[in-house]
Amino acid sequence: MGTAMPTVNQAHFRINSNLTAASVSALGFSSPNSGNSSASSRGSSFVTRASVAVEEKTQTEAALIRIGTRGSPLALAQAHETRDKLIESHPELAEEGAIRIVIIKTTGDKILSQPLADIGGKGLFTKEIDEALINGDIDIAVHSMKDLPEGSIVGTASLRRKSQLLNRYPSLKVLENFRGNVQTRLRKLKEGVVQATLLALAGLKRLNMTENVTCVLSIDDMLPAVAQGAIGIACRSDDEKMATYLASLNHEETRLAVACERAFLEKLEGSCRTPIAGYARRDEDGNCILKALVASPDGSQVLETTRRGPYAFDDMMNMGVDAGEELLSRAGPGFFNR
């Protein structure tokens, strides 16, 4: 009898995910700090397993928890935020070397010359990290939202953002494959490659780079991606110790919101080539409000729907599925090929 492959448990928390920042060069901003103290302090020990390049901090003792993450400044900021929350909840983890951050290069990090949709497949920024988790190389995995002059060029690699932007402002031009980490995109913006770009405000806050924000778009202006701004932390299902640690980090309201949004996405079978957006939140009466949309890639048509119901798992899952079924029916065959 073979050993059963462990599955993945997840904890979630979301910080100010309901806003998207538009940074416009014409209005000016301070140049981003290219340095990153957490990144520069990494050790020089490298481990290669299959196609996964893992860079680890040199440690004299075995860490109690190994946190797997991408190496971008934002990903590292989220990993360090996770570490700090673990230490806050479990003081014994404050001891030096108790928590180690392991950097893993993903397919999406390696291939920067092509649009994400052309690379193909799902999990371009998560697959290698999840494989490292299943293989036991790490213990938990941390995975990671206005007006312009006519003819202005906006840079974004997101079909979801592109379609919503063109639907509202058809006179704008969108530079596709505008990829790179936050610092890279801001550098390109400063160099005049584009007149504006769209960045997740939650990410800028985690990087302490909100000085670059010149306009904040509300949910009504641009609906974010499903689970935008939420941090997902995974551990193996058979690792009770890690599950205990992570239980203190889980934010139940966020977990339910993400489940609702992902139920909507799953019904639509979304991919990199399908502009889909969804956002669930608790209203002042304690109910769940789900706003969802699908759009044609060229932005010529945007279909939206809203659901309201009890803020409870089963109800919210049903809301997500129901919203997906409605938009699938309204969109009809070939909608995403326009």
Which residues belong to the active site?
Answer: 147
206-226 burial, b at 16+ Cβ within 10 Å, e below that, comes to bbebeebbbbebebeebbbbb
Phi, psi of 71 (to 5 degrees): -100, 5
86 in Cβ contact with 249 (< 8 Å)? yes
Closest Cα partner for 99 from 61, 67, 77? Answer: 67
Length of the chain: 338
What is the enclosing helix (H) or strand (E) of 76? helix 73-89
CA dist 121 and 169 (Å) reads: 30
Q: What is the largest CA-CA distance in the chain?
A: 66
292 in Cβ contact with 257 (< 8 Å)? no
Tokens of 219: 């949910």
Residue 55 in 3-state DSSP?
strand
Q: Is 285 exposed, middle or buried (0-12, 13-18, 19+ CB in 10 A)?
A: exposed
CA 230 to chain centre: 7
Q: How far is CA 54 from CA 80, 123, 128, 157, 244, in A?
A: 17, 18, 10, 26, 26
